[in-house]
Amino acid sequence: MLKRHARAACTALAAAGLLLAAAGGATAGPAPAAPTAGTSAAATLRTAEAPPELLAALQRDLGLTPTQAKARLAHEAEAGATAARLRDRLGAAFAGAWVDGADAATLTVATTRAADTAAIRAAGARAAVVTRTLADLDAAQAVLDRAADAGTPVRYADPRTNRLVVEETRAGAAARLLAATGTDAALVTVVRTAEAPRPLYDLRGGDAYYMNGSGRCSVGFPVTKGTVNGFATAGHCGRAGTTTTGFNQVAQGSFQASVFPGNDMAWVAANAQWTATPYVKGSGGANVQVTGSVLQPVGSSVCRSGSTTGWHCGTVQQHNTSVTYPEGTISGVTRTTVCAEPGDSGGSYISGSQAQGVTSGGSGNCSSGGTTFFQPLNPILSAYGLTLKTTGSGPGPGPGPGDPEPGGTWKAGTVYATGASVTHGGATYRCLQGHQAQTGWEPPAVPALWQRV
């Protein structure tokens, strides 16, 4: 936990959307097709509209050229949509997916059925045939989570090796955990680490706020609930009833709900002096727009904004990671290579223009580098009935001023998890990538997010 001068209170939620795990034995396939216009995933997520500040940070932190930075955002959007469609098609045999390459042009999808490789390659991805499904790894990880302690603070499924990884701070801690749970050592890679994660204690995303006039954290993403403005943030920053002041020390609001440990989520309702904006504080204080909340796949670029260290970028390493802090275990967080320091807690993680989550905890710092975890945002929106503040509707036309709404169960503002089913205009659709629905993102208009069944 990296909270600045304040008592902990943290929570994480099972990651909605694409959890990618698997590995080894990749079979080469054709490179993914270049993103197309119209209803392509890149168009849906507006990657071409990425602001210069975000592109500059990707170039700085990932060592990219300007062309690579632009291409990477487009490729990541297409890879997420392709992986989601293949996950739906492969069903129980799905073993994960990830992107590689400076511009994320290579997507690999893993399966436990050799017969699936042709379909994977036909979709433009590389195929990997592995022995364990994603469900197998999830089940084994859940067993470890129940018995883990601070000696084995981080556990996750490695998407490239089709194994679980257990980080240990003391020699023999992982071996004792495996023995206590009866877990086969052949399933696990043990990594020795010198640093243990801690929550990042410390109405634009990334701006500072203060709890009860003392401890400092960072705004995650501005939201609304009915007519109330507020923001999502980390649960360890405060409990329900904790009062907040803004970056300018003006009375701001109070925590309405908070969970930690278990998950690391909370939301703050602001008073009438504060208005939610659809922006995250980027490099040099510039506004970075937020247009949606589609969770991006493993290997994707992601940038973080926080009130201590500002704007830094890295990549997504694993979704659905479990972390044991001194205060307890949280599950379902995403592990990244982005650095953070105390006071950055609760701050924004964004990929392109898509909100990803709020800073939870980590290790290291922004001088020598580190590992940081974020609580995915969609579960926070769903749990508390919040609506993410965005810069406008999606790419679809939607009903005109005098047009009737098509019948169905799809509804703007609802958070849909991967696999959810809705009806719209007389047809049934299945959700491919978890997101909060918005006007213009009706299922027929966004095949990157919905598949007609």
Question: Exposed/middle/buried for 248, CB within 10 Å: 0-12, 13-18, 19+?
Answer: exposed
| CA 149, 236, 142, 376 torsion-angle sign | negative
Residue 345 a catalytic site member: yes
Longest dimension (CA), the chain: 68
Q: Which of 202, 207, 264, 344 is catalytic?
A: 264
DSSP state of 321: E
Annotated catalytic, 236?
Answer: yes
Q: Which of the residues 75, 136, 218, 236 is marked catalytic?
A: 236
Active-site residue identified among 218, 300, 331, 345: 345
**Residue whose C-alpha is closest to residue 313's, from 273, 269, 282:** 282
Distance CA 224, CA 277 (A): 10
* Cα radius of gyration rounded to whole Å, the chain: 21
What percent of the chain is helix, strand and coil (3-state, nearest 5)?
20, 35, 40
Asked if residue 29 lies in contact with residue 126, where contact means CB atoms within 8 angstroms, the answer is: yes
> CB 301: neighbour CB atoms within 10 A?
28
Give me the DSSP letters along 388-451. E--SS--SS----TTPPPPPBS--TT-EE-TT-EEEETTEEEEESS-EE--TT--GGG-TTTEE
Residue 186 CB neighbour total at 10 angstroms: 6
- Active site residues per annotation: 236, 264, 345
